[in-house]
């Protein structure tokens, strides 16, 4: 978009002319004011290019990252993913994948195909998740959870928990695993992270709870996962 134009410099007269110099000074002032006044459209495009995840000269910080500029500084890629549904154990001989159905916080970190965590730029990400694991069976069970990169297991990333048997016929047993790890992304266009889990009993699953009363209590998600950019590769 072109800016408003200002008059060209006046044609000088023969000899000294005060009116000419006054007009020249005013024209120079108009040009300088135009140069020093930012154009909103151009500023927006320049800001978008400055924050773009590209490499090379003028292309951002290491790892192709600049981040979004907030009033109190740069916001690095981060996100919170959650699930507000039960996630059942499909088989005692196969793995299950954590799935998500909402992203209450998302600055570049998203999910695809239900289970695949995607990030906007290469680098290292601190990933933390908690699970509401429930055992409704009469016997104790084993529970394991680990990380996968692009569909392949990350070794060693597995953690095992022992879940006690239910307390009564109407009161299940619960544990809340809290796991933290660092996930390296080399190509944000193709790389993705998944979290897999396994249990030795079909009575073990990831449970969510609706809001409750007396006192008023918020809902309990079955899965909460956060991912935060911490460093370039």
Domains defined for the chain, CATH in brackets:
76-231 (2.60.120.40)
Q: State yes or no: cis peptide before 101, omega within 30 of 0.
A: no
* Residue-wise pLDDT tens digits, 58-101: 334 444 455 555 666 678 899 999 999 999 999 999 999 999 99
In the block, residue with structure tokens 């084993």: 142
* Burial letters 102-114, b for 16+ CB under 10 A, else e: eeeeebbbbbeee
Residues paired with residue 165 on neighbouring β-strands, in sequence order = none
Mean pLDDT by 10 residues, the chain (233 residues): 56 72 75 66 54 42 52 82 98 98 95 96 96 98 98 96 95 96 94 98 98 97 97 81
Distance separating alpha carbons of residues 49 and 114, to the nearest angstrom = 31
In 3D space, the residue among 134, 117, 90, 122 whose CA is nearest the CA of residue 225 turns out to be 117
């Amino acid at each position: 978009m072109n800016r408003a134009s200002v008059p060209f410099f006046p044609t000088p007269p023969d000899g000294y002319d005060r009116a000419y110099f006054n007009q020249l000074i005013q024209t120079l002032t108009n040009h300088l004011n135009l140069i020093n006044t930012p154009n909103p459209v151009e500023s927006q495009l320049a800001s978008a290019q400055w924050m773009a995840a590209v490499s090379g000269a003028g292309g951002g910080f290491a790892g192709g990252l600049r981040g979004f500029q907030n009033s109190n500084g740069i916001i690095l890629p981060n996100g919170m993913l959650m699930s507000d549904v039960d996630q059942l154990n499909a088989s005692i001989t196969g793995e299950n994948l954590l799935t998500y159905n909402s992203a209450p916080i998302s600055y570049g970190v998203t999910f695809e195909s239900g289970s695949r965590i995607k990030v906007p730029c290469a680098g290292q990400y601190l990933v933390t998740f908690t699970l509401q694991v429930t055992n409704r069976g009469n016997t104790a069970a084993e529970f394991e959870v680990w990380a996968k990169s692009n569909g392949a297991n990350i070794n060693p990333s597995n953690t095992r928990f022992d879940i006690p048997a239910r307390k009564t016929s109407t009161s299940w047993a619960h544990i809340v695993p809290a796991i933290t790890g660092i996930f390296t992304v080399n190509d944000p266009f193709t790389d993705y992270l998944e979290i897999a889990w396994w249990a030795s009993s079909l009575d073990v699953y990831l449970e969510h709870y609706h809001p409750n009363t007396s006192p008023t209590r918020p809902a309990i998600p079955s899965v909460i996962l956060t991912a935060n950019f911490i460093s370039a590769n």
